[in-house]
Structure 1
Amino acid sequence: MSSVLFVSRRSKAACAAAFALACTHGGAYAQAKWTFGGFGTLVGVHSTENQADYTASPISPGQAGHSKEWAFDVDSRLGAQLGVQLDKRWSAVIQVVHEKDVRGSFRPHLEWANVKYQVTPELSVRAGRIALPLFLAADYRKASYALPWVRPPVELYSLMPISSNDGVDATYRWNAWGAKHETQVTLGNADVQITPEIRGKSRDAYAITQNTTIGALTMRATAASTTMNIPGAEEMFDALRSFGPRGVALANRYDIASRKIDIYNAGFSYDPGHWFLMGEIGRVNTRSMLGDQTAGYLSGGYRFGTVAPYATLARVDVNMATQVDGVPTAGLPPAAAGLATLLNTELNARLRSIGVQDTASVGVRWDIAPNYAFKMQLDRVRPRGGSNGTLTNVQPGFRSGQAFGVISAGVDFVF
């Protein structure tokens, strides 16, 4: 889903009102505590695939490979966060992230802006712009300093690049069976910039997340669903429907208008201190030509003081056909046959863009100073099955099935 989070007027107003309410409420509290901090990443990336561009996320497309020999727009970003603790119950936070968007420029956008109310020591509720709890790194996927790698495995994390939505959530913490549990329910909406001209709408989104911690082991599972409506392809699918039952069936199967999207994810992290092992598996089914994919990874590393080498295996597969026969052209008048051929070609090109890929990575993290970490990572990436993988700006000379290398090096920091 090539997209960028777009802050609508309505969501801006809602987030601003929520934060203003908290600050107004805090006017009567002399003990309100304000905090300010931030994070940043500066990474250079080189890809040996010169027939396409390597990118970490479709909402922030990079240019390493065909466009640039070394690109600094794949992972680089800067974030700032302002928080206030008004009393034992009320708090609020705003986070702004400056990164590359789908328009090709570095721009700031509002990542978080919410008010939290601690109903009881176990139950809390939030309202405003909230992080979507879809993955293990949901709360800090933008703050790469908190990650062992240069970037989260793209095979999984690029399946659902939207990292926040506008709505409410409730979190209940409880203890049972020798473990600490956290159950979270999230409701909300999001606007999604698909291209510089087209914006999609995610409505009636909900997610249920369960976190369980037993000592050094953390386990997390999420089930989520939303209705996504993406304009811009009406002409293509209307044209398909004009070719009778076969065209209607194809349009009904692959149309991107008003589709229910289901998301499932489960993962674990075991980190006793000197070493770590973590992994996730997830499925995103869009019920359209945007794809139905299953992805996962397994990663482990060992810490030698301030140096931590690691290795990761990641893979994404497709659960649907990426090549279809399309509308039959036999017996059609020349003009109609030409249109049918064009539609078939376009549909199959869209299906080939669904990522099928595996990556083997080795890397090292070196904490060179307090709050600064140098990272270097080598990836062997192989798109498979005729797919473009997670690549963008694919050129005519690209060949699926051929592995290529990616070198990434840079610095993460927090302040």
Structure 2
Amino acid sequence: MTVDISPTRAAMAASLLMLSCSAALAGDAADDDMPRWTLGGFGTLGVAHSNEDQADFTSNALVRGDAGASRRWSVGVDSRVGSQASVEIDRQWSAVLQVVSERTLDNGYRPAVEWAYVQYKVTPDLSLRLGRIALPLFLAGDYRKAGYTVPWVRTPVELYGAIPLASSDGVDASYRWQSGEINHVTQAFLGHADLTLSPVAHVRARRLAGLSNTTTAGALTLRASMLTSMLTVDLAQPLFDGLRAYGDEGEALVRRYELADKRAYVASLGFSYDPGTWFAMGEIGRLNSRSYLGDKSAGYLSVGYRHRNLTPYLVYSASHPNMQTQVDGLDLSQQTAARSAAGAQLNAGLNQLLAAVARQYTVGVGVRWDLHPNYALKLQYDRVTPQQGSTGTFINVQPGFRSGQPIAVLSAALDFVF
């Protein structure tokens, strides 16, 4: 499902025809020249500046944003390029391959396969896909990395950054149906995902399953999604190994906070109302990982107005933990001096992990300039405020970082499709 944000619906439809697999392959066209190939791409040339010199601003946990403590201006936060090839073999069979290159945690720009699947249309309304498929989470879940298709420089980090996984390997089924003049697309999916964050850190999502429904009635689009998975993230393993050395009390903390084969879930609900000259959109979601990654709610609300080829906009986003983010940890009153000192370090390490469960809000203002067909220049100013000891969505946090202080982030991006 798509969200119309360009100056005209026709231009947006043309862009998404190249960028969105569901839009590109769900049409009724089937001429005598099959198979038919389509090749396109998208990209963002971005730069970001943060006035915080004790932490780095990033768009999500899988991208090494380095605006702030590492460097005054960073091109790594938002810059990326992607290409997509699709082939319609006949009226029923088609395939899509999408490759994206963006900043990774090891500071590289290695191309990665984002989508790679085969699609079979059982009927004009029912389709099945097998392979690497976009997760249908959030309004922009299908095209979140194609910056041209969203009004802002980046999707709001409090919500979209909380779920950096954008695709999974598996199967899905999509069914299009109607109730009166209201259109629906219901999608169910099963799969798994395996990401390498570093030589010693991995993310594994097993038994990943979910359901999504998108409803369109005129200018209004609603999307509701739910996803669940057995999740493992083997970060901070020395911390949990150290806690285990403190007997039952340490084991209890490990069971509570270690993320090892824990049942996690995400639920989200979003809307977009776009009659043409203006738009309003918003989403809310909840993530519960039953671990140090936390149980938190996040959301945003954004409005914008189109005047010729300019679109000024406002956005407010926030993240709030539904759990304690500061705990006592181990009781060290009966420990020896050496074990007490080691335990104090473990308690501090655990609370440092919990401080990363974002308690944060952002107020942003920006403008989009559609300077040429398929090219958009955006400028955005964000005032980001982590609260109550939280480090928010920032990474590379230094000892001098102070929560509760507003942080100014200035961004510029040139988005394009081809």
Normalising by structure 1, report the TM-score.
0.91
Q: Structure 1's 232 and 356: CA in aligned 2 closer, same or farther, altered over 3 A? A: closer
Please provide the CA RMSD for this pair. Answer: 1.2
Give the AA of the match of 1:308.
T
- Aligned counterparts of 1:395 and 1:354: Cα–Cα separation in 2: 16
1:76 aligned to which of 70, 76, 79: 79
**1:244 Cα deviation after fit:** 3.3
2:163 aligned to which of 160, 164, 168: 160
Give the AA of the match of 1:45.
A
Partner of 1:379: 382
Q: Structure 1's 410 and 239: CA in aligned 2 closer, same or farther, altered over 3 A? A: closer
- Aligned counterparts of 1:65 and 1:410: Cα–Cα separation in 2: 18
- Aligned counterparts of 2:301 and 2:235: Cα–Cα separation in 1: 37
Partner of 1:180: 183
- Structure 2 residue ranges without an equivalent (≥5): 1-31
- Check the 8 A contact 1:102/1:193 in 2, yes or no: no
Question: Does 1:271 find its partner at 2:287?
Answer: no
Q: Structure 1's 206 and 276: CA in aligned 2 closer, same or farther, altered over 3 A? A: same
Partner of 1:9: none
Alignment of 1:87-126 (within 5 A): 87-126=90-129
Alignment of 1:254-269 (within 5 A): 254-269=257-272
Moved more, 93-102 or 325-334: 325-334
Give the AA of the match of 1:311.
L
**1:124 Cα deviation after fit:** 0.3
Partner of 2:133: 130
- Aligned counterparts of 1:246 and 1:31: Cα–Cα separation in 2: 66
Q: Structure 1's 197 and 331: CA in aligned 2 closer, same or farther, altered over 3 A? A: closer
Partner of 1:307: 310
Per-residue CA shift, 1:184-225, capped at 9, x if unaligned?
Answer: 001100002233432121111001001111101000000110
Give the AA of the match of 1:207.
G
Per-residue CA shift, 1:158-180, capped at 9, x if unaligned?
Answer: 11010001000000111014311
Describe the SS at the equivalent of 2:198.
coil
- Aligned counterparts of 1:307 and 1:186: Cα–Cα separation in 2: 38
- Aligned counterparts of 2:262 and 2:186: Cα–Cα separation in 1: 27
Describe the SS at the equivalent of 1:409.
strand
**1:238 Cα deviation after fit:** 3.6
1:410 aligned to which of 388, 409, 413: 413
- Check the 8 A contact 1:233/1:256 in 2, yes or no: no
Paired residues in the alignment total 387
Partner of 1:212: 215
1:251 aligned to which of 248, 251, 254: 254
Describe the SS at the equivalent of 2:74.
coil
Describe the SS at the equivalent of 1:102.
coil
- Aligned counterparts of 1:232 and 1:71: Cα–Cα separation in 2: 26
- Aligned counterparts of 1:193 and 1:361: Cα–Cα separation in 2: 32
Per-residue CA shift, 1:60-103, capped at 9, x if unaligned?
Answer: 12111111111111000000000001111111000000101111
2:301 aligned to which of 298, 303, 309: 298
**1:30 Cα deviation after fit:** 5.3
Describe the SS at the equivalent of 2:110.
strand
2:43 aligned to which of 37, 40, 58: 40
Give the AA of the match of 1:33.
R
Partner of 2:326: 323
- Aligned counterparts of 2:397 and 2:162: Cα–Cα separation in 1: 18
- Aligned counterparts of 1:155 and 1:375: Cα–Cα separation in 2: 20
Question: Does 1:351 find its partner at 2:379?
Answer: no
- Aligned counterparts of 1:350 and 1:233: Cα–Cα separation in 2: 9
**1:236 Cα deviation after fit:** 2.8
Give the AA of the match of 1:179.
I
Partner of 2:27: none
- Aligned counterparts of 2:336 and 2:397: Cα–Cα separation in 1: 33
Moved more, 226-235 or 278-287: 226-235
- Aligned counterparts of 2:73 and 2:205: Cα–Cα separation in 1: 35
- Aligned counterparts of 2:294 and 2:180: Cα–Cα separation in 1: 39
Per-residue CA shift, 1:206-256, capped at 9, x if unaligned?
Answer: 010011111010000001100112335444324323323322221110011
Give the AA of the match of 2:188.
V
Describe the SS at the equivalent of 1:106.
coil
- Structure 1 residue ranges without an equivalent (≥5): 1-28
Partner of 1:241: 244
Describe the SS at the equivalent of 1:250.
helix
- Check the 8 A contact 1:174/1:181 in 2, yes or no: yes
Normalising by structure 2, report the TM-score.
0.91
2:365 aligned to which of 357, 362, 365: 362
Per-residue CA shift, 1:284-343, capped at 9, x if unaligned?
Answer: 111001111100000000000110000000000111111110111112112221221121
- Aligned counterparts of 1:345 and 1:153: Cα–Cα separation in 2: 30
- Aligned counterparts of 2:331 and 2:293: Cα–Cα separation in 1: 23
2:149 aligned to which of 118, 121, 146: 146
- Aligned counterparts of 2:222 and 2:180: Cα–Cα separation in 1: 14
